[in-house]
Amino acid sequence: MVRWLLRAEGVAVSALGAALYAGAGGELLLLIPLLFVPDLSMLGYLGGPRLGAVTYNLGHSIVLPVVLALAGWWLGQPLLLMAAGVTGAHIGMDRALGYGLKYPTSFQDTHLGRIGKRRDEAAARPVA
């Protein structure tokens, strides 16, 4: 039940982000490739798992689209609202697929649990 609810929340956040993007004047066909821009934050993993977790989490925390949306609204800047929509839609999509914020131990260790091939082996040990 909890896993289903977390994924449903992800779908809702993704839909809200897409609506914000479109409402700010963004082209829906452009949204599809833009959804992958936040994944550039994974490049931090080239510097190791600790740096990778920091850069990934900065680009995948729901705080980022909220701050961008508030700034866009406050400043009357549709581009910031569109950026908020794209990042929000991406984060929601990731959460709906079961991907979470990363721990510095490994890319597979997320706040939603372990991902990848060795998920079953690690199910018995909690991620701290």
The tens digit of pLDDT for each residue in 28-87 reads 999 999 999 999 999 999 999 999 999 999 999 999 999 999 999 999 999 999 999 999
Residue 86 is predicted with a pLDDT of 98
Instruction: Write out pLDDT tens, residues 76-115.
Output: 999 999 999 999 999 999 999 888 888 777 667 667 666 6
Residues with Cβ within 8 Å of 41's Cβ and at least 6 positions away in sequence, in order, are: 55, 56, 58, 59, 60
Q: What are the E-state strand segments in the chain? A: 102-103, 106-110, 113-114
pTM of the model: 0.83
Of residues 2 and 62, the one with the higher pLDDT is: 62
